[in-house]
Amino acid sequence: MARLPLQKQSIGLAVGALAALSVLGLFLPPHWTQLLTRVLIMALFATSLNIQVGYAGMLPLGHSMFLGLGAYSFCLLLVKTGMPQILAFPLALLISTAMCVIIGYLCLKSNEPMTFGLLHLAFNILLSTLINKWITFTGGEVGITGIARPAMLADTTYFFFFVLAWFVLCYIVIGIVVSSPFAKAAHGLRENEERLRFLGVNIARFQLVIFTISGLFAAVAGILLSMLDKGAFPAYITLTRSAEALMMCLIGGMFSFFGPTVGAAIVVVFGTVTSIYISQWQGLLGIIILACVIGFRGGLLGRGRKIGLSGDGS
Amino acid sequence: MILRTLNLDKYFGSLHAVDNVSLDIEEGEVRAIIGPNGAGKSTLLDLVSNRTRSSSGRVFFRDSEITGLAPHKIASKGIGRCFQVSKLFPGLSAFDNVQIACISRSDKTYDMFSSGSETHRDDVLGHLESVGLGGMVDDLAGYLSYGDQRRLEIAITLAMKPALLLLDEPTAGVSRAEGHDLMRLVKGLVADQSLTIIFIEHDMDMVFKYADRVSVMHLGRLMITDTPEEIKNNDLVRNIYLGDKAT
């Protein structure tokens, strides 16, 4: 994993992992399949965040708002209009992306990394509060419940493969995007913003495009998550959730394509399994993060040096 | 006329860093800007590329006004800039550094669906070769020697195919021999690629050897512009450098 773009060997690895996932999905007991589905969704969420963090060096602190926006716009469309899910899915994506452009534009106005991060956080808090307090519209702390999946996807296994298909599709698109000239310029943004500006790149617009792509995939994850949980809940859009996504990137390694995926698997599986036995499992998670940050600089899939992140260009 | 500034002014608080500077640069010229520390030379370049906003005055590039234009727009119009302290992408290879410039120049910044690693490959290698970094294609920019970083920055800037190149002390901090190599390289580019160069320099050897004309700045003002020979024998310039009251 010497460089960010997908390489042949990682494609081979990905195909192997895909086969293994399919077998697991077919033969695991339902509650494990469900857990696996959640891993895939959160992996997509973490990977969407990493487009900003690992590739472009931006630090959005409230990324969960786009997970929440996807989930809530999808569920609200269903509840308020009664439209079929196949229609609500793309429409919710459209709404979330539009919101993403607006929020991104406002966050990026100042052109200061610190202000960007904090504004992002502020929007996260704002939306999270809105969802908690606007009880008549969003259901408040209870959230929106009872969103049944279409009959075809009601079965856990079928739904798993539905999510897997989306997961693969999104990863292929992201994989292509992060190997493109666009991604090269994003590396430049991470390394030296002023240099990139003096090469003729409109930094604010460039960042907004990265931001929107990242938010779009987070919204896909949000919609899938709401289908899995059969509803939308305030917990989707909390600061803890935003921090969790950053942790996934850190644990797995934000300078590798599959790093956040590995991080997501660890956080979700670990969180679910240990929370059965220990109530304070987040403390343990903290220790894991410390170990990863100190012991594996650059994350589990990183090479421990910043050098490995960019590749050789040949 | 490729660049013209009209009555440029810059105040930093009460400090008049650039004082009513009107500068004309001819196409194909190599112009040196000299002057003691704090004369306002770097600030002048900053005003031209709008890294710093001018307090008043106007800037024209090839007869179109660029005053107050966003820096990335000025860069796209063909004004390349090398900084006093090299600005590179330190964690990326020399190849990637130059490649990003090529990507930006060819409007591929938003191309998300073609292969990033092969884009402009020959172009990039050519630029690296032309500044003498052909053997360091894969080296990380941050690990290059100081002189090589200067070269790399010139390669990056050249990859934008600028018409006007602003160099801020290109030979500072490199050995004399390396400095001459760099300036010969730059001078060669003027002929090959019909470039115009403005460079700030403290080393008078370099100035007199490579500049077509020399502008002298002192306390924010443009004192005189003339050929190197005239400047060398000018009393006013001598006084400025000896520290006497010049005006």
Q: What would the two tokens of residue A280 be?
A: 């304070």
| Averaged pLDDT for residues B35-60 | 93
Residue B199 shares a structural domain with residue B246: yes
pLDDT of residue A133: 92
Question: Final residue of a domain: which of B139, B161, B183?
Answer: B161
Residue B166 shares a structural domain with residue B73: yes
Instruction: State which residue of chain A sits closest to B114, comparing Cα positions.
Output: A180
pLDDT of residue A310: 38
CA A312 to chain centre: 28
Residue B51 shares a structural domain with residue B14: yes
B86 located within any domain:
no
Residue B183 shares a structural domain with residue B247: yes
Banded model confidence at residue A215, pLDDT cuts 50, 70, 90: very high
B84 located within any domain:
no
Residue B70 shares a structural domain with residue B167: yes
Residue B241 shares a structural domain with residue B219: yes
B213 located within any domain:
yes
Banded model confidence at residue A6, pLDDT cuts 50, 70, 90: low
Instruction: Look up the CATH number of the domain holding residue B3.
Output: 3.40.50.300
Residue of A176, A190, A202 lying closest to B72 (CB–CB): A202
Question: Final residue of a domain: which of B130, B161, B192?
Answer: B161
Banded model confidence at residue A309, pLDDT cuts 50, 70, 90: very low
Residue of B51, B100, B105 lying closest to A188 (CB–CB): B100
Residue B3 shares a structural domain with residue B69: yes
B56 located within any domain:
yes
pLDDT of residue B12: 93
pLDDT beyond 90 at B79? yes
Alpha carbon of A36 to those of A15, A246, B177: distances in Å? 17, 20, 64
Residue B29 shares a structural domain with residue B127: no
H-only helix segments in chain A: 8-27, 30-50, 64-81, 85-107, 113-133, 135-138, 156-177, 181-191, 193-197, 203-229, 239-252, 259-277, 281-295
φ/ψ (deg, to 5) at A179: -110, 10
Give the torsion sign (CA, A274, A280, A282, A285): negative
Question: Final residue of a domain: which of B134, B161, B188?
Answer: B161
Contact A313 B76 (CB under 8 A): no
Residue of B70, B91, B101 lying closest to A310 (CB–CB): B91
pLDDT of residue A303: 55
Contact B115 A309 (CB under 8 A): no
B74 located within any domain:
yes
Total domains, chain B? 2
Provide the ipTM.
0.88
Banded model confidence at residue B247, pLDDT cuts 50, 70, 90: very low
| Averaged pLDDT for residues A187-204 | 94
Residue B112 shares a structural domain with residue B185: no
CA distance B55 to chain A (A): 21
pLDDT of residue A3: 46
pLDDT of residue B190: 82
B210 located within any domain:
yes
Banded model confidence at residue A225, pLDDT cuts 50, 70, 90: very high
Residues of B with CB under 8 A from a CB of A: 49, 51, 70-73, 75-76, 80-81, 87-93, 95-96, 99-101, 103-105, 108-117, 119, 124, 137-138, 140, 156, 160
Which of A103-107, A255-259, B24-28, B86-90 has the weakest average pLDDT?
Answer: A255-259
Residue B169 shares a structural domain with residue B195: yes
B139 located within any domain:
yes
Beta bridge partners of B14: none
Query: What domain range is B65 assigned to?
Result: 1-78+162-247
Residue B121 shares a structural domain with residue B166: no
Residue B27 shares a structural domain with residue B145: no
pLDDT of residue A229: 93
Contact B100 A187 (CB under 8 A): yes
| Averaged pLDDT for residues A166-171 | 94
B217 located within any domain:
yes
Contact B104 A199 (CB under 8 A): yes
Mean pLDDT, all residues of chain A: 88
CA distance A285 to chain B (A): 30
